Amino acid sequence: MAYSDKGSGEMSKTHHRVYRKRLYRGEYRDRRRTILINTWKATYFDVNEEKLLNLTKEAKEFGIDLFVLNDGWFGERNNDTSSLGDWYANRRKIPSSHEGLGKKLNKIGLKFGLWFEPEMISPNSELYRKHPDWSIQVKGRSLS
C-alpha cells in the first residue's frame, strides 16, 4: 500500500521505490539492467548471418548490451509449421553456426542470447519423426 499527498504520480514513485529497495533481490537490484535486442520483429523467420551482423552493429551504436537471436535459426524453420525440437543451427542461414555468431558478437562487445522453446515440438521435425513417443499428447486432440 502506498500514500501520497502529491498525487498519483508521486504515489507510483513511492510504490516503485518500495519494490526496488525492499522486495527485489539478486544482483540487479541496485545495478543497471541489461538492455537487449530480440531479432524476432526485425527478421521473423528470414534469418541470415549478414543481416544479423548488420543488426548487431546498429544495436551496439544504440547502447544495447545483449543480442538475442530469436526464431528461424534452427532446423528447417522458415515458418511456424516445422522444426521445433530440431535445435541445431541451419548452416545455410548462419554458416558460422550460433557458436561462431556468438563469438563475433562478443568481439563487437555484445553478449549473445539464443531463443528456443524446449517445451514445444513440431510434428514436422526430425526429433518428432525419430521419437514421437517423447511428445506428450492428449488422446483425440490434433497436434497442429
Q: What is the pLDDT of residues 106-138, one digit of tens each?
A: 999 999 999 999 899 999 999 999 999 998 888
**112 within 8 A of 67, measured Cβ to Cβ:** yes
Burial 21-39 (b: 16+ CB within 10 A, else e): eeeeeeeeeeeeeeeebeb
pTM surpassing 0.75?
A: yes
Q: Identify the three-state secondary structure at position 76.
A: coil
Q: What are the pLDDT digits (tens) for 86-104?
A: 999 999 999 999 999 999 9
Decide if pLDDT at 144 tops 70: no
Average the pLDDT over 49-70 and give the result.
Answer: 94
The whole-number pLDDT of residue 19 equals 84
SS3 16: helix
Mean pLDDT of all residues belonging to the chain = 92
pLDDT of residue 85 exceeding 90, the answer is yes
Share of the chain above pLDDT 70, in %: 99
Strand stretches in the chain, DSSP E: 36-38, 66-69, 111-114
Decide: 44 and 61 in contact? Cβ < 8 Å: no
